[in-house]
Structure 1
């Protein structure tokens, strides 16, 4: 479980002022978008550039100052002092034990410097696959994070804005990262989340790993290196408000100390670095569509290419016909022949068959395609499954408890 945090991050005064102007980006994959193409890249930074160069200012803004809210110890500096490209396709956010400019922090003269970047005013996302490939620092007191805040932060404040923590790591847990949701009534130590631990005593600081969320209406799914470790829906909030169906902006930072990680001690070696290989946001669109391939290389198929409500969806030899052309929409639907993939009668039990049905916006027609190649119905919290683990033509597709087996793995597009 996520370690208790007495207070969460709030944006620094300069960022809050910027947010209050209402100058948010429009790069989001919106729920009402109807003309984006499948797997559209809406944001990407691979951090190419000369060694020592600052980040692309058209994509990122740099926050400066300290952060009393979590009792963090660092001062976030401007420019490329603590956030710079390495000339090899990486962003390096460096935490140092220093104070070159007599920076003042909430506790007195600052002891450390680091960096924090965000995309507010430059890019927001609403749904999609959000990921970063990174190598985290190591040592007591280190607190790297890749996360998102609701773009309405300046209007509604935190935690009403919502917060999606894609990845947090604290130095005293070298093998574990955490993914968490924060919102009204479930913030700070009450956030909803889980941890993921590497097997075999590995540490996240030893190598690059890919941290991601697959985000859809009423659903957020976390993965590490393509392995899904938790999925959250409004059903997890015990009636509290779900505030994640709206635009969010991205944040990368490396904090030093604070309530959760604790302060550095004599074992902590400086400098430490969060090394970021890439950050991207991709979203499936409702464009021309493509095949959904599953067990035995067979395709998800609308039986007899019949567009009538209730038509079975099955496995069949891939043939390129319209009955096998599916579009994955940013509204959470999967469509063919002008209708939606649907869990029959809104069922959530194992064995509920899926069918074609007139699109109606119901939870029975909401799907998430994860990095692990699962196709999940969040209402049921179950996976699209080829019945009986059979790849025979005509095998009915159904909902079944997610197990990671081959008959639940799909390649979309």
Structure 2
């Protein structure tokens, strides 16, 4: 979809230090660890354990400072732990306040608000894997929290050639909706490629914690909320434009106030407001987790959603590999196998031999959990049984089922 306005949050970044660009001043880089690359196959995790009032771990995060004229945001991002601090209960809290204790100057004059923005540039970068944060967003007109990534080569190639992956953005006037978007050369700003996800029943994202994630592989990125995939993007979505996402990126967390897209706070907006971060985790792609592609098995054929049908209960079968979305599976870190925005599911949650598998809405049940041991079995732990080609039959449209694991060729699979 074409989203909102051409104005977005931006900074330029070199290999180890931020540059002044887009109206945002360079933060102190502090003591920097060697950046981690995809070749190192590293993982990143921050559970934000520590005493109340402490700053985020400087070995993992650096704090940006200044205002942002590019989006006409209203806040001044402060240094240290004034607007970003641990709460002593396993959370990082980014707080936006209506204040100006140090007489900060913004693009529009004397700043009216303070907040914080943190990134992992110079501390952690990675290409591919499962990237997630469990967040509770603020509420109110003018609030603009985000969890996102920028290409680590931005200091050399600039934005949007660097690429940008917005894992989660929320604006206060849409309390039930978040957005996930790609930006790159020829598809930036309002031309970004993305989609929205809306909670059912009028729920607001500010009411509870939710997990926002991408499963990122070469030439494929899928977005999910609480384990439910709501969009998948590949180079085919770009109409011949350059896919800018097969390289290392770094992470960013921030809470903006106002700007062209969310609009400014008004009399209904209560301050302070907080973006509460329970955890941030990145899982290396070398484990297979987060990768997307075909699952091949007996006779070199693929695990396939019959007819490419997204309806609940659609059979999952063996079929000639054809590269269609019905054969593109993501092995997520929550133990699910996902295609077409839904999960591989054991019908009725049964555990008996011969129980067929199907496509179904992701719901977090044991019927949708799969272990992927090195022996190349795909195992449903609840049943302690394997994904099996019925009757060892390699014919197209042979239904897949659960069966006692026997190490036979019809139970051996090659993951993407």
TM-score range, shorter-chain basis? 0.7 to 0.9
Q: What is the 5 A alignment of 1:305-344?
A: 328=288, 343=301
Shift of 1:229: 1.2
What residue is the counterpart of 1:16 in the other structure? 19
Any idea what SS the aligned residue of 1:179 has?
Answer: strand
What residue is the counterpart of 2:203 in the other structure? 202
What residue is the counterpart of 1:182 in the other structure? 183
What residue is the counterpart of 1:104 in the other structure? 105
What residue is the counterpart of 1:65 in the other structure? 66
What residue is the counterpart of 1:411 in the other structure? 370
Q: What is the 5 A alignment of 1:262-301?
A: 262-286=263-287
Against the structure 1 CA distance between its residues 258 and 132, is the aligned structure 2 distance closer, same or farther, given a 3 Å change threshold? same
Counterpart-to-counterpart distance in 1, 2:33 and 2:300: 35
C-alpha distance after superposition, 1:268-319 (max 9, x if no partner): 1111111111111113535xxxxxxxxxxxxxxxxxxxxxxxxxxxxxxxxx
Greater Cα offset, 245-254 or 221-230: 221-230
- Match for 1:27 among 36, 41, 66? 36
Shift of 1:95: 0.5
Counterpart-to-counterpart distance in 1, 2:327 and 2:237: 20
Shift of 1:197: 1.1
- Match for 2:337 among 351, 359, 375? 375
Against the structure 1 CA distance between its residues 197 and 363, is the aligned structure 2 distance closer, same or farther, given a 3 Å change threshold? closer
**Are the counterparts in 2 of residues 342 and 354 from structure 1 also a CA contact under 8 Å?**
no
Counterpart-to-counterpart distance in 2, 1:10 and 1:342: 46
Greater Cα offset, 154-163 or 228-237: 228-237
**Are the counterparts in 1 of residues 33 and 122 from structure 2 also a CA contact under 8 Å?**
yes
**Are the counterparts in 1 of residues 295 and 327 from structure 2 also a CA contact under 8 Å?**
no
Counterpart-to-counterpart distance in 2, 1:53 and 1:74: 22
- Match for 1:353 among 303, 309, 318? 318
Against the structure 1 CA distance between its residues 267 and 248, is the aligned structure 2 distance closer, same or farther, given a 3 Å change threshold? same
Against the structure 1 CA distance between its residues 132 and 342, is the aligned structure 2 distance closer, same or farther, given a 3 Å change threshold? farther
CA RMSD of aligned residues (A): 3.8
Against the structure 1 CA distance between its residues 223 and 329, is the aligned structure 2 distance closer, same or farther, given a 3 Å change threshold? closer
Shift of 1:412: 2.8
Counterpart-to-counterpart distance in 2, 1:365 and 1:329: 17
Greater Cα offset, 53-62 or 184-193: 184-193
C-alpha distance after superposition, 1:105-127 (max 9, x if no partner): 11111111100000000001211
Shift of 1:3: 3.9
Counterpart-to-counterpart distance in 1, 2:286 and 2:235: 24
Any idea what SS the aligned residue of 1:200 has?
Answer: helix
What residue is the counterpart of 2:376 in the other structure? none
Counterpart-to-counterpart distance in 2, 1:25 and 1:373: 31
Shift of 1:217: 1.2
Q: What is the 5 A alignment of 1:125-204?
A: 125-204=126-205
Against the structure 1 CA distance between its residues 199 and 366, is the aligned structure 2 distance closer, same or farther, given a 3 Å change threshold? closer
Q: What is the 5 A alignment of 1:44-123?
A: 44-123=45-124
Shift of 1:27: 2.4
Shift of 1:207: 1.1
Shift of 1:396: 9.5
**Are the counterparts in 2 of residues 226 and 371 from structure 1 also a CA contact under 8 Å?**
no
Q: RCO greater where, 1 or 2, for CA within 8 Å and sep 6 or more? A: 1
Shift of 1:225: 1.1
**Are the counterparts in 1 of residues 55 and 81 from structure 2 also a CA contact under 8 Å?**
yes
Where does the alignment leave 5 or more consecutive residues of structure 2 unmatched? 21-25, 309-315, 373-416
Against the structure 1 CA distance between its residues 198 and 364, is the aligned structure 2 distance closer, same or farther, given a 3 Å change threshold? closer
Against the structure 1 CA distance between its residues 210 and 363, is the aligned structure 2 distance closer, same or farther, given a 3 Å change threshold? closer
Shift of 1:185: 1.1
Against the structure 1 CA distance between its residues 162 and 386, is the aligned structure 2 distance closer, same or farther, given a 3 Å change threshold? same
Give aligned pairs, total: 352
